[in-house]
Amino acid sequence: MIKCLLGICILFAAGSHHHSQGGAHVNPNHVKSTSGHDEVDFAEKKRLKDKTLEMFNHAYSNYMKNAYPADELMPLTCKGRTRGRTPSRGDVDDALGNFQLTLVDALDTLAFLGYIDEFNSAIRKINSTLNLDGDCMISTFETNIRMLGGLLGGHSVALDLADQGKIKYDNCLLRFAKIIGDKLIPAFNTSTGIPFSRVNLKTGYVKKTQPETCTACAGTLILEFAALSRYTKDPIYEEKARKALDQIWVKRHQGTGLVGTVINTANGDWV
């Protein structure tokens, strides 16, 4: 929820200045699109921007107050959802690893919205308390996009803010990102190079009797894994994700160029 608000906020934060052409009077509170149709005026954009910030603050502050360091806030009970203690919801809980998921996922959003002090505070919390050694099966896909992606996004923003002298930063988020990357690597130990959908966060164990995975899990890890390789200068992550992506491309339907939704990691057959 927190992450999806960022795009809305950026959208309605745009258009903060205006200009006139040919001496014609332009209403600063109203704009037209290139097609000539009326667009939302600046006052409405500001209202929507403020509403977006209010929604983010509501979600984030209540997570920190009522759930942190649990992975998620349960909105009806206002309590944290902790893997192994909160009643299981089945496979959907494989997105959780008792690794402060919501805080990590919100890192770059805090910075983008201008909450630099809170962003800096979140980095300190993560640096001193984050545990990536839970004995549980985690989703390769969800852990990649939310934990690895969250840590790398936070690292990128932190580097920029440090260069501007706004924070002090010791690359701790990148160190945690590398740990996550290393813990996901065993998922790629398949005959095709396409990763298993689940891997044990602590041991690296995978269930070879469950070889099916979704196309997104197999083919979209390249963004985060390539970024991790560029930041760490270790090519292994990008190489693993690239091989998986290439396998999906090879297995596409030769007539339509389309791919399926579920693939067998052992033999590359579509399920």
- Residue 30 pLDDT exceeds 90: no
pLDDT digits (tens, 9 = 90+) for 58-74: 999 999 999 999 999 99
- Residue 19 pLDDT exceeds 50: no
Q: Which pLDDT does position 222 carry in this prediction?
A: 97
- Residue 185 pLDDT exceeds 70: yes
What band does 14 get if pLDDT is binned at 50, 70 and 90? very low
pTM: 0.85
Q: Which pLDDT does position 37 carry in this prediction?
A: 52
Q: Which pLDDT does position 265 carry in this prediction?
A: 97
Q: 40 or 19: which carries more pLDDT confidence?
A: 40
- Residue 167 pLDDT exceeds 80: yes
pLDDT digits (tens, 9 = 90+) for 65-102: 999 999 999 999 999 999 999 999 999 999 999 999 99
What band does 40 get if pLDDT is binned at 50, 70 and 90? confident
Q: Which pLDDT does position 41 carry in this prediction?
A: 87
Q: Which pLDDT does position 4 carry in this prediction?
A: 45
Q: Which pLDDT does position 135 carry in this prediction?
A: 96
Instruction: Collect all residues with Cβ–Cβ distance below 8 Å to 185 and sequence separation of at least 6.
Output: 204, 236, 237, 240
What band does 34 get if pLDDT is binned at 50, 70 and 90? low
What band does 1 get if pLDDT is binned at 50, 70 and 90? very low
Q: Which pLDDT does position 15 carry in this prediction?
A: 41
